[in-house]
Structure 1
Amino acid sequence: MSLDYYETLEINRNATDADIKKAYRRLALKFHPSSNTKPGSYEKFIQLGEAYDVLSDLRKKATYDKFGVEGLKGGIPAEFGSGGAWSSKYAYHGNPEKTFKQFFGGDNPFADFYTSDTPLQFGNLQPVVVKTQDSPIERDLHLSLDDLFHGCTKKIKISRRVMNDDGHTSSIKDKILTIDVKSGWKEGTRIIFSKEGDQGPNNIPADIVFIVREKSHPLFVRQHNDLIYKVKISLGMALTGFSVDVQTLDGRLLTIPISDIVHPTYKKELSGEGMPLSQDPSKRGNLIITFDIQFPVSLSTERKHLIKQALDFIQ
């Protein structure tokens, strides 16, 4: 039984070129081996390729319309030609995938059927979707100096959109993210939770990024890995000596004697009493004690005279 190309494409002989393309588009997708594994579907896919190959070409179509499959493949009958059979016999190349890709164009024949909102589906065949990742979601993580000194664990609840099992609808669900704060972390440290943002059918979820923000402390100011401790002293203490008590972040009480003359730029530095180093918490920065010298607001004439005498004696 001869192959009827019009019947194969389910169109009539008056079909236009647009009708032929539309019919092939619909049926080729329906019987493509990736979407239809029923017995006989691949044979149908081959027939569709051959039918389209003939009917989409004006010369082949004209020959087929006038002489049928026999005339197209075997040559024009002798009574219609001056030199016997037509020399240009048609033979389908037999590669329906080649026809399919030539029709749709490129290596992704389903690109024309993809929209940014909804990918169309043909049977079980899914279009190739190039997903892009959403921009990172950044949130501040406020930590005390004690948290950053000792390290701690923070649990943060987030609400995000997740895809349901059907792959098309979504819902809002809560999730607990656990952050293990390491000793010595600094302001600006970034903790990244990969792909924990909102899910969607056509996107890669965003990363959630927490950025360490250091809270102020009543006693210490952090400077890199060092701790700055400021003490108010009188002018008399600055000149005659004194001791400073410092309650450390790890609960120790340090008593530091100051026997030097404390001038306005004087600092007392204690090695290894600062913040732990994040790379090696066994090592620490320094504790730097600075001084705010409280000068008297006013002095009587007598006291000025006494101070002058004392300073003259020192010189």
Structure 2
Amino acid sequence: MADSPSPLAQGEETGPMIKQLPVSLEDLFYGTKVRVTFRRKVWEEKRRRWTEEEHDVEVPIYKGLKPGSRVKFRGEGDIGPGGVERDLHFVVVERSHPTFTRHSLDLHCTLDVPLADALCGWSLTMTSICGKAVTVSHPGPTPTGWIERRTGLGMCDYRRPEERGDLVLEVHVVWPEGQLGEGQKKMVRAALKDL
């Protein structure tokens, strides 16, 4: 019976194993630990073949870590001929968030404001990433694209966790659906005539 081809002939990698690790924005803000179970290859010298085994590691997600950052483990990857262990790298991937979009340390949030409120004035309360109630208001009229910035309510910095970016709130004016009746048009024209 012929020997199996060598691992290098099979094109086995010698660099680090790289795996993506999806993480929530809240976990990146507060920091956490994520236990990850995966399958790694192990070279059996006696049988001259690769097998697979289940392996798990606990990945620390440090407070303020940015998407694309790597969390590295020495020797936790595949085990090759002679017991040579590959390193294992997890690349942090930020999951999409229903409220916030991250831009470096700043968190952007879109506020939907109905047209009538945009014209007459409005007030909204939302919750920041750290759980603080944030009230935003404007007497009107408020155009789409109007921005209010709240200093220090964004993401924290990995290297300086006590420092935070800003919360950037941008208004999107929601126009009514459907057609206005003739009576409604006259009322709107009359109301806006002197503005």
Q: So what's the TM-score if we normalise by structure 2?
A: 0.79
Superposition deviation, residue 254 in structure 1: 1.6
Corresponding residue for 1:139? 19
Structure 2 unmatched runs, 5+: 7-12
Q: 2:162 aligns to what SS in structure 1?
A: strand
Note if 1:305 corresponds to 2:176. Answer: no
Superposition deviation, residue 157 in structure 1: 2.9
Corresponding residue for 2:114? 234
Note if 1:268 corresponds to 2:151. Answer: no
Higher helix proportion:
1
Q: Which residue, 162, 166, 170 being the options, matches 1:282?
A: 162
Corresponding residue for 1:66? none
State how many pairs are aligned: 181
Note if 1:220 corresponds to 2:79. Answer: no
> Against the structure 1 CA distance between its residues 265 and 256, is the aligned structure 2 distance closer, same or farther, given a 3 Å change threshold?
closer
Higher strand proportion:
2
Higher normalized contact order (CA 8 Å, seq sep 6+, divided by chain length): 2
Structure 1 unmatched runs, 5+: 1-115, 118-132
Q: Which residue, 16, 28, 32 being the options, matches 1:148?
A: 28
Q: Which residue, 87, 91, 94 being the options, matches 1:211?
A: 91
Superposition deviation, residue 237 in structure 1: 1.0
Corresponding residue for 2:10? none
Q: 2:153 aligns to what SS in structure 1?
A: coil
> Against the structure 1 CA distance between its residues 139 and 231, is the aligned structure 2 distance closer, same or farther, given a 3 Å change threshold?
same
The residue identity in structure 2 corresponding to 1:255 is T
Percent of aligned positions that are identical: 28
Residues 70-105 of structure 1, C-alpha deviations (whole Å, 9 max, x = no match): xxxxxxxxxxxxxxxxxxxxxxxxxxxxxxxxxxxx
| Distance in 1 separating the partners of 2:41 and 2:182 | 78
Q: Which has the larger radius of gyration?
A: 1
Note if 1:249 corresponds to 2:129. Answer: yes
Task: Give RMSD over aligned pairs.
Answer: 2.6
Q: So what's the TM-score if we normalise by structure 1?
A: 0.51
Q: 2:101 aligns to what SS in structure 1?
A: strand
